[in-house]
Amino acid sequence: MSDPTGLTLIQTLKALEAKDFSLEELNKAYLERIKKYNPDLNVYLDINEESGGIPAAIKSLISTKGIRTNAASKIIENYKPPFNATVIDNLFGQNVSVIGKTNQDEFAMGSSGENSAFGPTKNPWDPSKIPGGSSSGSAVAVAADLAVFSLGTDTGGSIRQPASLSGVVGLKPSYGRVSRYGAIAMASSLDQIGPFTKSVADARLVLEWISGGDKYDSNATKEKFAPVVVSEARQSLKGIKIGIPKEYFGEGLDSGVKKTVEDAIDKLKELGAETVEVELPSTKHAIAVYYILMASEVSSNLGRFDGLRFGGPRDLFGPEPKRRIMLGTFALSSGYFDDYFIKAAKVRTLIKRDFEKAFEKCDVIVGPVSPTVAWNIGEKIDDPLKMYLSDIYTVPASLAGIPGLSIPCGFSKNLPVGLQILGKYMDEETILNVGEIYENATDWKKEKPKLADGV
């Protein structure tokens, strides 16, 4: 048996069917790899030796019955949920099992993974760098072949950004496509669960598994995602119009990232796509809007942690949750509510309208995910505003509720760069197709980080 840990999900399923290896052998191979590399990379907060299905890594934020779910926070350090998130039950129905719960920024608050109460996750391409966040462990679990695929959550970029900085595929579905039930709530009008995978086709399959209406999430009322699979012969983007927003290529964008993304756009043109310039003029307000609305929802959602039914006292919150509870409580407080919360909700409408207008001219919008490649551990930790501003290209789509895909599109300074493909509301199909055709025409998915030989 050759090492199965490098295989994509779809390749793994085929190999299992062909009896190239058993589920037991598959789990054993992954568990051995985890034992070897996890101590250095700090991907998993909990490892499930009992994993017997297709091994998936699950962000600690997502509830798993009887398996510790602590959102990388001291306040619920030893919490074991008495129920599964809907996505977990859905995956169990596909013979998937939880091989471990992954590290993250505490309560999904951060862009680097450093806000975990249990130490940062390391970027497998260079362990002195952050892997992105908040779904840091879920991104690296896939990048370092420590799981077949993983689930994360994306509120303002927490799937797309770590996917980009760690060199894997990450999909944030449309708001309402996937049930949020059982994902510990951060900002309820923005939170979405989605997959990290080793190929675009894998992301399509996992979305099919986890999507659909759910009686436990009144915003998940849509049908299950039913993909029209790209035929292997379909290699052309003829007839696809790609919108390029100039606001995503301006000041603040690192020149190496810019060049890499522009090369990817050239490739899309070569594959037959037509490009059009689109305008998203409210992009410059997105971070301000996001930090008011998100923090307000955070202050309300985190109000439930009172230490009575589970968890400990509120002084166990780390600095970032405290900062956001403070900011949100202030924005919602008497005398400031209209000036901050309502104002931000109105500008959110303008951001949403920008996208609606842009999509009259194109099928997908393409640009960078992150203005820079992975930065040094510690570099932005003392300057919250600087950290917040690094989410400028991912936050607008979250506010508009539209789907976004990050796929590997090259390297700058030997670190991965992701290409972001945004779609119309509930049109994951087109962004996945564009992503897959690009992926098939390039060799980026063959690139793997060279890991130091651990312990």
Partner 1 sequence: MRLTTDQVQKVAKLGSLTLTIDEEQKFSEQLSKILGYIEELNAVNTDSVEPTFNVTDNVNVLREDIDRPGLSQEEALLSASVKKDNFFVSKGVFKNE
Interface residue with partner 1, options 2, 128, 221, 236 (CB under 8 A): 221
Q: How many residues make up the chain in this entry?
A: 455
Interface residue with partner 1, options 342, 361, 413, 452 (CB under 8 A): 342
Structure-token pair, residue 274: 């037509």
**326 sits near partner 1 (criterion: CB under 8 A):** yes
CB 241 within 8 A of CB 274: yes
Interface residue with partner 1, options 21, 175, 225, 248 (CB under 8 A): 175
Q: Any bridge partners for residue 287, and if so which?
A: none
CB 136 within 8 A of CB 122: no
Q: Which string of x and - marks every residue 401-420 that binds partner 1 (by CB under 8 A)?
A: x-------------------
Query: What are the DSSP calls for 158-169, one per residue?
Result: TTHHHHHHHTSE
Interface residue with partner 1, options 309, 360, 443, 455 (CB under 8 A): 309
Of 143-151, 163-171, 236-244, 327-335, which part binds partner 1 (CB under 8 A)?
327-335
Q: Number of residues in contact with partner 1, rule: CB under 8 A? A: 60
| Dihedrals phi, psi of 233, to nearest 5 degrees | -80, -20
Say how far apart CA 257 and CA 164 lie, in whole Å. 11
**308 sits near partner 1 (criterion: CB under 8 A):** yes
Q: Find the shortest distance in angstroms from Cβ 341 to partner 1.
A: 9
- What residues numbered 103-162 form the site for partner 1, per CB under 8 A? none
CB 123 within 8 A of CB 131: yes
Q: Find the shortest distance in angstroms from Cβ 395 to partner 1.
A: 13
Q: Which string of x and - marks every residue 81-100 that binds partner 1 (by CB under 8 A)?
A: -xx-----------------
Say how far apart CA 71 and CA 36 lie, in whole Å. 24
Q: Which string of x and - marks every residue 8-47 that binds partner 1 (by CB under 8 A)?
A: ----------------------------------------
Q: Find the shortest distance in angstroms from Cβ 314 to partner 1.
A: 6
Contacts for 262-267: CB closer than 8 Å, 24+ residues apart: 263/409, 263/410, 264/366, 264/409, 264/410, 264/419, 264/438, 265/366, 267/438, 267/441, 267/442
**244 sits near partner 1 (criterion: CB under 8 A):** no
The 8-class DSSP code of residue 340 comes to I
Helix (H) or strand (E) holding 222: none
User: Strands 364-368, 415-423: parallel, antiparallel or unpaired by DSSP?
Assistant: antiparallel
Which residues are part of the catalytic machinery? Answer: 59, 134, 158
Residues forming the site for partner 1 (CB under 8 A): 78-80, 82-83, 175-176, 189, 215, 218-219, 221, 282, 285, 287-289, 291-292, 299, 303, 306-312, 314-315, 317, 319, 322-323, 325-330, 333, 339-340, 342-350, 352, 384-385, 388, 399-401, 425
